[in-house]
Structure 1
Amino acid sequence: MRKSILRSLKPDIIVEMLDMAVAFENWNKVMERADMLYQCVQSIHEERQEYQSKGVPAPHIHIERPLVYYYGLSHLMRGMAHQKMGQVDQARACLDQYAELGSTEDLDEVGMQVVQEFRHKAQVNRYALEIEAGQMELLEEFVNFLLEHPEEWLVGLKVITEAAVRHRWQIDWVLHMFEDQIQGDGTEMASSNNDYMYHYCYQRALYEQWKGKTTGGRGVHFAGDQVSGQAWVGSVCYKVHNIVGIIAGRGGRGTDRTLSGDVGGNEVGKVFTETGRICLEVGICI
């Protein structure tokens, strides 16, 4: 893209365009917008360096965050798109890029904090990427990480239950460890967590449905008690319907730009319909 066009764009406008592409689950468009964001901030960076070399101040460009944030976000969003399209190796390469942003430019205290935040996101998302790819040997390590970082437990459980459904893993021991956090209907959480909760509940419903089939409907052991898998399906179906209503009420938009937890607006209706189908299959009315 020509520099004259890049100069007419603002990073925060491109971020809004990225959010829109994610909401519509248009991953090719996400890739395109992420590349545009990277080129835009690179152009700003080069212009700053050019003025600095001349010993004169660069023209002021209003941006809401440090420049390093937009570098990191461009790599993160590109990685998300690669992951959604099943391009695991490319997603790994993007993870490496936003995990190490410290050499991007001269950073002040705020910039260094942004670098640390992206490094943490990269660690979470690397676990998510590898576990979703079937690396079960990392599961215990990831669980320990979640116990050390309780703010990530919901994102982590969503990843783990989704991988368990896909790869047919037994994860009752994981669910037992997070029993206290799982309790409740999810509606008391911050709105940014509702999306993760409805995804977790949906995947948990699929997991319990599969467990019910593999145990012949005898139920599963959970938290030391014999709990009916059907009861859990009914419980989580109810939660999903509850939370989907909240998400739909704010437009179905709920991504904090984390690879393992983004939600597109089109997914709301899909999950709502599919969860209802599961409930009907096991004879539950909600």
Structure 2
Amino acid sequence: MEEVLEGKDATYLLTDHHRLDKCIELLHLRFSQHAWEDILAIADHLHSLAEKMYNDAQEASLKKLPYLFKAERPLVFYYGFSYLAKGTALQKLRLYDQAREYILKYSELGWFSGLDKIGWEEVERFKFFAKANLYTNDLLSGKLSILPEYAQFLEDNPEELLPGLVTIMETASLHSVNVDDILEKFSEKIEDFGNLEDATNRTHYFRFLYHRAVYYAKHHRYQDSVQLILLFLTSYNMINNVDFKKFVVLFEVYRQYASNEQKEQYQNLFKELLKHEEGVSICNGDIRSY
């Protein structure tokens, strides 16, 4: 489905209902690639599709004609997700005021006509997502006074704790605020994050490590920062190349502050990575070909 953005004619070969689900698939792909500009375009396309189908369904209802909807989820899901995706992309682009507008759009979808039980459940889910994402957007934009309220929200909603702590660490780095008290508050639960196995939580966990490493470095806790970097790098078999490169760069930035033991651990890690590479070896700290 990559061709959807480059040439939308490919999308139009599908039924409208099928295209809704393909847009969702493509949005998930682009999220994983951090392709925020692409996401804005796909979200707009998804919204146009969902809005057209909603209007068609309303017209059919007025004429007392049947309207068969065949997508995998209720129509309100696609309508709300188009706003959620666009709001998230705008936030990632640091366009916080615009992002807030889109978060508010999916915070209350109860006006949507024709909702059944599953549809109302989707409306409630989007309402919760909007609450969490408003906190995120406001914190990243610099509204630091809500930090205590957000910490309480995370305590009341433990399923949001890991992504929420990513937001807090990113906020701390962006706005030079001390959040040691929050890290202490959730310290026991933070220790368990490394045991999470599903892909989404692993992604959140590695982002948490990255922003926490940057946070420690900004507070001159360099060896603590390096230790988190090494913790990430030792999990190289579970992460993608983009993340791995980011942490390698971070280590090199703070290499001068690493202890001899940490430098040795770093070198041993790369020895392990290279040992199966034909014609490459490490000798006295240098990479050599033979």
What TM-score results when the alignment is normalised by the length of structure 2? 0.79
Shift of 1:185: 6.2
How far the C-alpha of 1:188 sits from its partner, in A, is 3.2
Among 230, 242, 246, which residue is 2:238 paired with?
246
* Greater radius of gyration (CA): 2
Q: 1:95 to 1:244 in 2, by over 3 A?
A: farther
* 1:116-131 correspondence to structure 2 within 5 Å: 116-131=124-139
Q: Aligned partners of 2:216 and 2:172: how far apart in 1?
A: 11
Q: Residue in 2 aligned with 1:237?
A: 229
Q: How does 1:1-286 map to 2 (within 5 A)?
A: 5=12, 8-9=15-16, 10-58=19-67, 60-184=68-192, 186-212=194-220, 229-243=221-235, 245-248=237-240, 267-278=242-253, 280-283=255-258, 284-285=262-263, 286=266
Deviations along 1:67-110, whole A, 9 cap, x unmatched?
11111110011111211222111101001001011112221111
Q: In the TM superposition, what is the alpha-carbon distance from 1:182 to its structure 2 partner?
A: 1.1
CA distance in 2, matches of 1:8, 1:108: 23
Structure 1 runs, 4 residues or longer, greater than 6 Å off:
none
- Measured after TM superposition, the shift of residue 271 of structure 1 is 2.5
Q: Is the 8 A contact 2:20 2:46 kept in 1?
A: yes
Q: Deviation of residue 162 (structure 1)? A: 1.1
Query: How many residue pairs were aligned?
Result: 251
Q: Give 1:269 deviation, angstroms.
A: 4.2
Specify the SS of the correspondent of 1:99.
Answer: coil
Query: Against the structure 1 CA distance between its residues 148 and 178, is the aligned structure 2 distance closer, same or farther, given a 3 Å change threshold?
Result: same
* Deviation of the 1:238 alpha carbon: 2.8
User: TM-score of the superposition, structure 1-length normalised?
Assistant: 0.80
Distance in 2, matches of 1:100 and 1:40, equals 20
Q: CA deviation at 1:183?
A: 1.0
Q: Structure 1 residues 270-279 or 160-169, which shifts more?
A: 270-279
1:21 positional shift: 2.8
| In 2: Cα distance, 1:205 partner to 1:80 partner | 24
* SS across alignment from 1:56: coil
In 1, the alpha carbon distance for the partners of 2:39 and 2:246 equals 22
Deviation, 1:41, is 1.0
**Distance apart, 1:234 and its partner CA:** 3.6
Q: Distance in 1 between matches of 2:128 and 2:229?
A: 32
Kept in 1: contact 2:155–2:161 (CA 8 A): yes
Asked whether the equivalents of residues 198 and 243 of structure 1 are also in contact (C-alpha less than 8 Å), the reply is no
61 and 108 in structure 1: CA distance in 2 versus 1, 3 angstrom threshold:
closer
Q: Tell me the residue number matched to 1:256.
A: none
Distance in 2 (alpha carbons) for counterparts of 1:160 and 1:231? 21
Which amino acid is 1:237 matched to? I
Aligned mates of 2:146, 2:247 — CA distance in 1: 31
Q: State the 1:121 CA deviation.
A: 0.9
Higher relative contact order (CA 8 A, sep 6+): 1
Q: In 2, are the aligned partners of 1:76 and 1:98 still within 8 Å (CA)?
A: yes
Check 1:57–1:242 CA distance in 2 against 1; reply closer, same or farther (3 A cut): farther
Name the aligned partner's letter for residue 109 of structure 2: L
The C-alpha deviation readout for 1:8-30, integer Å capped at 9, x for no partner, is 44200111222233333332221
The structure with more helix, counted as a fraction of residues: 2
CA distance in 1, matches of 2:242, 2:109: 32
